[in-house]
Structure 1
Amino acid sequence: MIGLSRTLSSGWFAAVGATALLGALAPAPAAHAAPLSCGQTVTTSVVLTADLLNCPGDGLVVAGSGITVDLNGHTIDGIGLGVGIRNDGFDNTTITNSASNPGPIQDFDYGVRLNPGASGNVVEELTVQLNELAGVELNGAVGNNRVRNNLIDRQSQRGITVLGGSSGNVIAGNTITGNQGEGLFVQNSADNRLEGNQVANSGDAGLVLEGSSGNTLLSNTVGNSSDGAFLVRLGSNDNLIQGNSSTQNADAGLIVSGSNGNRVLNNTLQGSGDSGIFLQSANGSTITGNDVRLNTGGIELSDSDNNLIRSNIANDTTGDGISLELSVNNRLELNQVNSNNSRGIYVAGDAAAGSGNRLVDNTANANNGDGIHVSKAVHTLQGNTTRNNGGWGVFADPGNVDGGGNRASGNGQAAQCAGVVCAP
């Protein structure tokens, strides 16, 4: 079982409220070992003493606040209907398994479901497998619910879903594997923290934000998804995506589409079937300190404006290191774009005067094509270094702005640069 990789920040503690968090961690009443039956309503703490098998609807229904349901290594098993353990809005409960053997929750529509109003609950140390719609779902659950250190394995659709305005929750340290839909899916929900989850072998994307703003994605790992690793789409604004990693996903490492103001910081996104980072109709974002080597492309912008692309490593791709198409007012600075199979940096599309992209202090060496190629106008090139590229060091169409300080040597074109002056 994968544990939390780090202590949650003091800022997050403050954000959820110290009083609420301490209340949620208060000791629950002593649990009683008891024989239970399928569909039973639980109002006091219980420890299972036997399996619940072939439940025709729900497994157990939590109907009291501040209680613990301990599977104690026993299985809760359904026939493909209902919920394994359902909480319809009660607070500060814990659903756990204290035994060393798994005691799975399986063969329901949902493994565990926290419904509207549920707050301060803990879902931990469970094995949730072979359910239909989702392993664990938060539906309108608000206020410091914690889903942590679970194995969420082989659902017919999604692994963990957070939707219906669920906010202020923590999804941390879970292993989410082999689900046929998305591994972790957040829809129309804000201010949640997704940290240290390992998502692998999803039949769709690994981790998705859809119409969800103000969330934090920190130190998650996604691998071998049938779509992109991380998808941020449909008005998912002002999220922080930091320190995550991906490898061997069928589409891009990170796709940001129709979403603005996101911060993408210090992620390692490699081995993707498309670009490491792809921005489409995504404006005002900060893309800083990311390692997007060894992808089909490094960083790609399409119809995306006013972004800062700074201090990224976009080397050793099979295409362009960084490419911009129909995108204006972006600032590209201090990036490394070396040893790419095509160009280091490629900028396509006109910009009106004063709205061009600025390429400042980038290093573009040993690319098979041009180091930097800027077609159309009016963009600014300043202080870039381009050496030992197969084509031009810098090729800029007429009408672009030479900001000075560009350098080039050892490039395939003897003149080294066109459209700007390059020093050796």
Structure 2
Amino acid sequence: MACGDVLTADTTLTADLTCTGTALTIGADDVDLDLNGHTITGSGTGNGLTAISRPGFTLRNGTISGFRYGIYLSSVSGMPRTDVTATDVRLLAAPIDAWPGTITFTGTRQDACLMSGLRLVDGLITIDRCTVTKQTVMVRSSGSAIRNSALTGGSLTVSATDQGTFTRNVFDAFPMGLSNDSRRNLVRANVFKNSATAGLGAAETFLPQDANTIEENAFTGNDIGLRSDSMLRHIIVRRNVFNGNNTVGIFVDNPWGPNRAGPDPVSDNVFVGNGHHPSGLVDGQGHPVQGGIHLSSRAALTPPVTLRNNVGIGNPGDHDGCAFPSA
């Protein structure tokens, strides 16, 4: 096998490859590429692997390093969508670019599967038992899932995505953002920690049946645990633990008004020791932000968000886990 080859049959790599430009192109459907423990190394340009309108592509057991894109997927109008299943593949300084595409990226153990950045538009991705680094962007990626993985040193942006699931991950200095056109996503049983901003940012959805659910997560050591600039309208926040976030556990700020709070209460959350190292952040009315929960809006709100069965311990201004500025 040589740099620049077009693969039309199952192939096993027998030695490392060092390439300038694109290394390999998948030229047929249902091709299986076994890297066999080897590395494909680039010079910072081109793609490690290119697949255009090639369903059934499988990739396993090796490393792709130093390309503009480690895996580049695309589809031609009227042709099949490209899909790839990658197992125990490490992408080093070689992000994935897919428009559109279906990607399954898994590891038999977390250190055997590494993704160094992703841009996915109009596609679907499943990431399971992997390490994810750098900027990760999912646009119109409905049905996607990230689970059982470690995300570190980057960020996750989820836009216009319906019914995604994000479960049992550790987001370490890896803030996540859910846009207001993302609906019915489930964020459950994750750890969000060490973010210099907000561990999780969530914008409103516009209909009750489209509510995103944030439940049973742990937020610890972030500047802000959870932030929303839209009064948590149609965002379900329940049974989370907010512990030791520097400025505030939950910050809800609606500087534009009027109140558009949704019917779902912030319920059964626990707030412990948040707000003891505030950053100096102020809300839209100029009030300092600090404590377990900080709510703010320009409108006259009674109340801006419904709070139910929350517990606060050792947060400045505790009142059922909450620190309220004047409206």
- With normalisation by structure 2, the TM-score equals 0.81
Q: Identify the match of residue 307 of structure 2 among 332, 337, 355.
A: 332
Matched, 1:271 2:221: yes
> Does the C-alpha gap of structure 1 residues 314 and 46 become closer, same or farther in structure 2, counting only changes over 3 Å?
same
Q: Whole-Å Cα distance in 1 between the matches of residues 24 and 218 of structure 2? A: 41
Q: CA deviation at 1:250?
A: 0.9
Q: Is the 8 A contact 1:198 1:221 kept in 2?
A: yes
- Indicate if the aligned counterparts of 1:152 and 1:160 stay in contact, CA closer than 8 A: no
Q: Deviations over 1:364-386 (max 9, x none)?
A: 5xxxxxx775746xxxxxxxxxx
SS of the counterpart of 2:36?
coil
Shift of 1:48: 0.8
The answer (yes or no) to whether the contact 1:279–1:300 under 8 Å persists in 2 is: yes
Identity %: 22
Is 2:151 the counterpart of 1:189? no
Residue equivalent to 1:136: 96
Uncovered stretches (5+) of structure 2, i.e. residues with no partner: 255-259, 276-289
Distance 1:40 1:322, change over 3 A: same
Larger Rg: 1
Cα distance in 2 for residues equivalent to 1:69 and 1:118: 19
Is residue 141–residue 162 contact of structure 2 (8 Å, CA) maintained in 1?
yes
Q: Is 1:301 equivalent to 2:252 in the alignment?
A: yes
Cα 1:373–1:58 shift into 2, 3 Å: closer
Which residue pairs with 2:127 in the alignment?
A: 171
Aligned to 1:110: 69
CA 1:373–1:112: 2 relative to 1, 3 Å: closer
CA distance in 1, matches of 2:251, 2:93: 37
Deviation at 1:201, TM superposition (A): 2.3
Aligned twin of 2:13: 48
The total of aligned residue pairs comes to: 289
Q: Which whole-Å CA distance do the structure 2 matches of 1:137 and 1:152 have between them?
A: 15
**Offset, 1:50:** 2.0
State whether structure 2 residue 308 is matched by structure 1 residue 344.
Answer: no
Match of 1:391 in 2: none
Counterpart in the other structure of 1:121:
84
| 1:217 partnered with 2:163 | no
Normalised TM-score (structure 1): 0.63
Higher relative CO (Cα under 8 Å, sequence separation at least 6) belongs to 2
C-alpha separation between the residues in 1 aligned to 2:169 and 2:98?
19
- Bigger share in strand: 2
Q: Which amino acid aligns with 2:126?
A: V
Q: Which amino acid aligns with 2:30?
A: G
Q: 2:56 aligns to what SS in structure 1?
A: coil
> Secondary structure of 2:313's partner?
coil
Alpha-carbon contact 2:294-2:324 (below 8 Å) kept:
no
How far the C-alpha of 1:259 sits from its partner, in A, is 4.4
